[in-house]
Amino acid sequence: MIAVLLIKAFTPVLFGRVISEFGRLTPDSRVSTITEARPLLFNREGFTLKPLWEMFTTTFPMAVIAIALLSWRFIRGQSAARSLLLTWSVLVLLAMFGQSRFAYYAAVVIAILVGFLCQAIVHRAWQWRRSDGRKSSTPPGLWQKATCTMLAVILVAVALGPGLSRLGVVIDYYDGPSSDWREVLTWLRENSPEPYGDGAYLRPCGSREAFLADFDRATGYGVMSWWDYGYWINAIACRIPCSNPTQAGATESARFFLAQDEASACRILDDLGARYVILDWLIPRWTKPGSGKVTGKFAAIPLWADEPLNKYYERVLMTDARGRIVSKFLYYPEYYRTMCMRLFIFSGLAISAPEKIKVYLIELPKPSDPRQRKRVLGVQEFDRIEDAERFAAAVSDGSRRIANEDPYIPCIPLKRLTRLRLLHQSPSVVATIARRPIAQVRLFEYSPE
């Protein structure tokens, strides 16, 4: 305790940074959208031990036994080195349970703990002597050597055997850019001007001053994308992303993809100096070919922009044609107006309003039970968007909403985008919407005024 107080008094900055690291154990709503930053033992279904087995198999329970053994020796005060190993192991494992990405570091810890446990067991067996009744013992013989050898083989088999069955899965696993992403990023590198003139930003510089003097800042530009893809843009296209997997720029990217009109989106691109926009098929809400499951990264985007997801869509209860209560999604005008949808799904083109514009009459949750799901009581149809908007605006509590149940058919008309145009797209077509082929990855060019 005294040491902690001294560190806080004399190095407050260092103390603050160390304390802030414990925040990783309680990620906020933004961080929870990052797969590798989620708690290891919790998924959408709740608590589960499956990740521990998939990652470590039998080595994890062996590591727990090793920690128990180290703890016992720590209580007895046998070794400072082992006490350090115990402290380091516990902290790394706690970090892993807080955020699954720390399993990278926990793998090393668990390997050392398993090695420690195996050595301790074999060492104990080697020291064992058969008593002859006079409290004397015989020296190690062939029987003991064979026993310790077999024991070591069994321990290694227990530790490594179950993991070998997953070796093929691990070797075949690939989470990098697809061939479509590579094609688009290669095309961008070969068909766009070098940022900062001659690509000086790629050359190593000895100092910040040399770096600033080595390129023409006026010719620089960035590439707008979701933060997941920033390093791919860096590595393959050799261009500068507006956001990257450190989540730097994630808020600005979220605000761009959620922008409700072209003017707002262009202001964000101008502020960031972006000239291109790249989207892939997993950013909007999407049904993968061959699967009825709706997926996509859209649900994470409003969190980074500090906006509620139900501003864009939400799950509600309604009665189907057979009189059953079913759960469905309603997509609101704000969803279709986002740059995410207008670029990737609608290609920046003008989209007419549907023949019948629907206004859903919604029963709102009671104040005493705000978590209760909303329920659709009925649907009113209109021929003109103006009439539908007037009817919905007659109440201010949100019980009348213009919406649609199909994420690809807008419930409102959309204007054509004039400063963002489709420049290139990957060869793989994942869907055809309104007779328009939608590729896996799409590249748009922004034309500043």
Go through the domains of the chain in sequence order and give each one's CATH number: 34-172 (no CATH), 179-354+404-446 (3.40.50.12610)
- Indicate the residue type of 355: E
The predicted pLDDT at position 388 comes to 93
φ, ψ for residue 426, nearest 5 deg: -70, 165
The predicted pLDDT at position 362 comes to 92
- Residues 155-160 have a mean pLDDT of 88
The predicted pLDDT at position 288 comes to 59
- Band (pLDDT 50/70/90 cuts) for residue 331 is very high
- Band (pLDDT 50/70/90 cuts) for residue 145 is confident
In whole numbers, what is the pLDDT of the chain averaged over residues? Answer: 84
pLDDT tens-place string over residues 266-275: 999 999 999 9
User: How far is 318 from 378, CA to CA, in rounded Å?
Assistant: 8
Mean pLDDT is lowest, of 192-201, 247-256, 406-415, for 192-201
User: Within 10 Å of residue 350's Cβ, how many Cβ atoms?
Assistant: 10
pLDDT at 172 over 80: no
The residue with greater pLDDT, 32 or 60, is: 60
Residue 216, sorted as left (phi over 0), alpha (psi -120 to 50) or beta, turns out to be beta
pLDDT tens-place string over residues 183-205: 999 999 999 988 766 655 666 66
The predicted pLDDT at position 132 comes to 44
Residue 403, sorted as left (phi over 0), alpha (psi -120 to 50) or beta, turns out to be beta
Q: Do 357 and 411 meet the contact criterion of CB atoms below 8 Å apart? A: yes
The predicted pLDDT at position 142 comes to 75
- Residues 348-373 have a mean pLDDT of 86
pLDDT at 395 over 80: yes
Give the tokens for residue 128: 């064992």
Its pTM stands at 0.78
**β pairing state of 286-287 and 325-331:** unpaired
Give the tokens for residue 327: 């759960």
**β pairing state of 441-446 and 420-425:** antiparallel
Can you give the chain as a three-state secondary structure string? CHHHHHHHHHCHHHHHHHHHHHHHHCCCCCHHHCHHHCCCCEECCEECCHHHHHHHCCHHHHHHHHHHHHHHHHHHCCCHHHHHHHHHHHHHHHHHHHCHHHHHHHHHHHHHHHHHHHHHHHHHHHHCCCECCCCCECCCCHHHHHHHHHHHHHHHHHHHHHHHCCHHHHHHCCCCCCHHHHHHHHHHHHHCCCCHHHHHHHCCCCCHHHHHHCCCHHHCCEEECCHHHHHHHHHHHCCCECCCCCCCCHHHHHHHHHCCCHHHHHHHHHHHCEEEEEEECCCCCEECCCCCCEECCHHHHHHHCCCCHHHCEEEEEEECCCCCEEEEEEECHHHHHCHHHHHHCCCCCCECCCCCEEEEEEECCCCCCCCCCCEEEEEEEECCHHHHHHHHHCCCCCCEEECECCCCCCCCCECCCCCEEEEEECCCEEEEECCEEEECEEEEEECCC
- Indicate the residue type of 31: V
The predicted pLDDT at position 414 comes to 94
Mean pLDDT is lowest, of 160-169, 178-187, 297-306, for 160-169
Residue 392, strand partner residues = none
- Residues 314-322 have a mean pLDDT of 88
Mean pLDDT is lowest, of 155-159, 173-177, 223-227, 308-312, for 173-177
- Band (pLDDT 50/70/90 cuts) for residue 320 is confident
- Band (pLDDT 50/70/90 cuts) for residue 361 is very high
User: How far is 324 from 374, CA to CA, in rounded Å?
Assistant: 16
User: How far is 253 from 250, CA to CA, in rounded Å?
Assistant: 5
- Residues 5-17 have a mean pLDDT of 73
Mean pLDDT is lowest, of 130-144, 210-224, 229-243, 286-300, for 130-144
Cα Rg of the chain, angstroms = 30
**β pairing state of 357-363 and 42-43:** unpaired
User: How far is 305 from 308, CA to CA, in rounded Å?
Assistant: 9
The residue with greater pLDDT, 218 or 142, is: 142
pLDDT at 247 over 80: yes
- Band (pLDDT 50/70/90 cuts) for residue 208 is low
pLDDT at 224 over 90: yes
Residue 145, strand partner residues = none
pLDDT at 240 over 70: yes
Mean pLDDT is lowest, of 7-11, 175-179, 201-205, 283-287, for 201-205
Mean pLDDT is lowest, of 82-91, 181-190, 258-267, for 82-91
User: How far is 54 from 170, CA to CA, in rounded Å?
Assistant: 10
The residue with greater pLDDT, 144 or 344, is: 344
Q: Do 233 and 249 meet the contact criterion of CB atoms below 8 Å apart? A: no
> Residue 197 burial (CB < 10 Å; 0-12/13-18/19+)?
middle
